[in-house]
Amino acid sequence: MRFFPILTALLVCVVIYGAVMERERMVEFAQSFRSAPEDTETGAADSADAAPGAVAEAESAAPPPPPEGTVAVVVRHSVAEEVDSVVPLRGRTEAARQVEVRAETSGLIISTPIRAGAFVQEGQLLCEIAPGTRASALAEAEARLLEAQARLPEARAQLPVARARQAEAEANLVAARIDSNAASRLSESGFGSETRAASATATVSAAEAAVESAAASVEAAQASIQSAQSGIRAAEAGLQRAEEEIARLQIFAPFEGLLESDTAELGALMQPGSLCATVIQLDPIKLVGFVPEAKVDRIEVGAPAGARLATGREVQGVVTFLSRAADPQTRTFRVEITVDNSDLGIRDGQTAEIRVSAPGQMAHLVPSSALTLNDDGRLGLRIVDETDTARFAPVAYLRDTVDGVLVAGLPETVEIIVVGQEYVTDGVPVQPHYQEAQQ
Ranked by mean pLDDT, which of 12-16, 53-57, 109-113, 209-213 comes out on top? Answer: 109-113
Q: State residue 85's pLDDT score.
A: 75
Contacts of 155 (CB under 8 A, 6+ apart): 221, 224, 225, 227, 228
Rounded-to-integer distance, Cα 287 and Cα 319, Å: 9
Q: State residue 375's pLDDT score.
A: 86
Cβ proximity of 435 and 418 under 8 Å: yes
pLDDT at position 263 over 90: yes
Rounded-to-integer distance, Cα 266 and Cα 272, Å: 17
pLDDT at position 328 over 70: yes
Q: What is the DSSP string of 60-90?
A: HHSPPPPPTT-EEEEEEEEE-EEEEEEEEEE
Contacts of 36 (CB under 8 A, 6+ apart): none
Rounded-to-integer distance, Cα 251 and Cα 78, Å: 67
Q: State residue 166's pLDDT score.
A: 82
- Output the CA–CA distances (angstroms, integers) from residue 135 to 126, 128, 132, 236, 242, in the order listed: 21, 15, 7, 16, 8
Name the phi and psi angles at 248, rounded to 5.
-75, -10
Give the least confident one: 61-70, 138-147, 347-356.
Answer: 61-70
Give the least confident one: 93-107, 155-169, 221-235, 328-342.
Answer: 155-169
Rounded-to-integer distance, Cα 27 and Cα 33, Å: 10
Q: State residue 41's pLDDT score.
A: 45
Q: State residue 163's pLDDT score.
A: 84
Mean pLDDT of the chain: 83
- Output the CA–CA distances (angstroms, integers) from residue 132 to 43, 109, 137, 248, in the order listed: 120, 11, 10, 13
Angle at 297 between CA 373 and CA 308, to 5 degrees: 75
**147-183 pLDDT, tens per residue?**
888 888 888 888 888 888 888 888 887 887 887 787 7
Rounded-to-integer distance, Cα 351 and Cα 284, Å: 17
Confidence band of 23 (pLDDT split at 50, 70, 90):
low
Phi-psi label, residue 388: left if phi above 0, alpha if psi -120 to 50, beta otherwise: left
Q: State residue 56's pLDDT score.
A: 46
pLDDT at position 48 over 50: no
pLDDT at position 125 over 70: yes
Across 49-77, average pLDDT:
62
pLDDT at position 50 over 80: no
Structurally, at CATH architecture level, domain 74-83+362-435 sits in Beta Barrel (2.40)
Rounded-to-integer distance, Cα 337 and Cα 285, Å: 8
pLDDT at position 38 over 60: no
Q: State residue 54's pLDDT score.
A: 46
Rounded-to-integer distance, Cα 390 and Cα 423, Å: 10
Across 384-399, average pLDDT:
89
Across 248-267, average pLDDT:
93
Across 208-217, average pLDDT:
84
**Closest CA relative to residue 126, chosen from 269, 281, 242, 258:** 258
- H helix runs in 131-271, sequence order: 134-189, 194-247
The proportion of the chain whose per-residue pLDDT surpasses 70, expressed as a percent, equals 83
Give the least confident one: 13-22, 85-94, 136-145, 327-336.
Answer: 13-22
pLDDT at position 431 over 80: yes
pLDDT at position 393 over 80: yes
Ranked by mean pLDDT, which of 10-19, 36-45, 217-226, 264-273 comes out on top? Answer: 264-273
Cβ proximity of 186 and 155 under 8 Å: no
Work out the burial of residue 432: count CB atoms within 10 Å of its CB; fewer than 13 is exposed, 13-18 middle, 19 or more buried.
middle
The proportion of the chain whose per-residue pLDDT surpasses 90, expressed as a percent, equals 42
Rounded-to-integer distance, Cα 370 and Cα 404, Å: 10
* Four-point Cα dihedral 299, 302, 307, 309, nearest 10: 120
Higher pLDDT, 240 or 399: 240
Go through the chain and tell me how many residues it has.
439
Cβ proximity of 203 and 184 under 8 Å: no
Q: Which fold has domain 278-359?
A: Elongation Factor Tu (Ef-tu); domain 3 (2.40.30)
Rounded-to-integer distance, Cα 320 and Cα 211, Å: 76
Range 59-66, long-range pairs (CB < 8 A, 24+ positions): 66/429, 66/431
